[in-house]
Amino acid sequence: MSPKNFSLEALIRPNILKLKPYRCARDDYSEGILLDANENAFGPSVPAAAHHDLPDTLLARYPDPYQRELKAQLADWRGLTRAAWDHVFLGVGSDEVLDIVMRVACTPGTDKILVCPPTYGMYTVSADINDVEVVKVPLDVDRAFALDVDAVLKALEADAKIKVVFLCSPGNPTGSVLVESDVRRILDFDGWNGLVVMDEAYIDFADQRSAVALIKQYPNLLVSQTFSKSFGMAGVRLGVAYAQPPLIAVLSKTKAPYNISNPTAQLGIAAMSPQGLSTFKTNIAAAKEQRARLLRELPKLPRAGKILGTSDANFVLIQVLGKDGRPCNATALALYKALAEEHKVVVRFRGNDYGCNACVRVTVGTREEVDYLLAKWRTHFATAKV
């Protein structure tokens, strides 16, 4: 097991280590007449037509706090075995996963996390909520937003208060996958005791393998994934984390007992069915096709600058040029506003993010949506003032 000096007991906050998880009668008995949990025996106040095939009991009764079946399917699907359900944690979206990792490892007002900008904004929002300081080690803009591993290791060695490193691969907003050997150097580093979170929200759009393949080797690794992107289920709020069982056990006892609702679990299981996975494959292929179109067509548009990053996710990050032909934040912002306000197509202005001057981030849409965006970009610059 590497790294040699990693100790989960030394890392996790003492109050969390000692925590006795919430227990309910159903941990021991879940069959028969259930008069233990103050549910409503008369059923849900939802018209049957509105909950389709879900039996009344799935709405009226509390969900299983453990969700072993869905976890077993997810473990199997990611190349572990069904028996490895204890390597899986489920959250209310991956946002809950990211927050809970921070909460178990970082003592408010004392500990820190490390992030590599430009990156997903929720790491800092969660840190602010939890009163956890954020140490920033920027990605290397000149190498398509690769990790600056030496700088990360230096920061970790210099500050024992850093407990969690958040890496995002493919990155948001960079779209770049991180090189596995770079990630391994951080995982192998013996000069600190902390966790490495690999946020793989967009991994299914990339050609690189998931870091779940490294879980067996690294007790200090947690891989976070989600049903929101590649499965097209953002409204369901289902996030997944993979790690070795001792860390998963810490997260599981800390979460709210019934964080995953019955409808959510049912929808997750349905997505794991052969039909669900076949739709998943078809939709990923369609998204990749439209991403390729964006990569071909966006650079031909008026005032289009460089595409930044390696575009391994379901979006493209592109610079917008001013009248003088140089990247211009004001032009990018004006384009963003005009697209949203006049043309009703919403992209994301990212020009204020580190290394993303003058950039907008365009999510891959359907063929028709891509057509529409390309047309409206042209329309805007036919008369644009900046």
Positions touching ligand PLP (CB under 6 A) are: 93-95, 120, 168, 172, 199, 201, 226, 228, 234, 239
Q: Is 308 helix (H, G, I), strand (E, B) or coil?
A: strand
CB-based contacts of 162, cutoff 8 Å, min separation 6: 111, 112, 113, 114, 135, 155, 156, 192, 194
Minimum CB separation of residue 89 from ligand PLP in Å reads 13
CA distance 23 to 145: 45
Minimum CB separation of residue 249 from ligand PLP in Å reads 22
Closer residue to ligand PLP (CB): 175 or 327: 175
Minimum CB separation of residue 353 from ligand PLP in Å reads 13
- DSSP H helices, the chain, are 8-11, 14-18, 56-60, 68-77, 93-105, 122-129, 149-158, 180-188, 245-254, 262-271, 274-297, 329-341, 367-383
CA distance 62 to 56: 12
Minimum CB separation of residue 312 from ligand PLP in Å reads 12
Closer residue to ligand PLP (CB): 120 or 349: 120
Query: Largest Cα–Cα distance in the chain?
Result: 75
Minimum CB separation of residue 230 from ligand PLP in Å reads 11
Query: Do the beta carbons of residue 1 and residue 219 sit within 8 Å?
Result: yes
Minimum CB separation of residue 322 from ligand PLP in Å reads 28
CA distance 228 to 305: 30
Minimum CB separation of residue 220 from ligand PLP in Å reads 20
Q: Nearest residue to ligand PLP, using CB?
A: 93
CA angle in degrees (0–180, nearest 5) for 245-248-249: 85
Length of the chain: 386
CA distance 189 to 178: 17
Closer residue to ligand PLP (CB): 226 or 244: 226
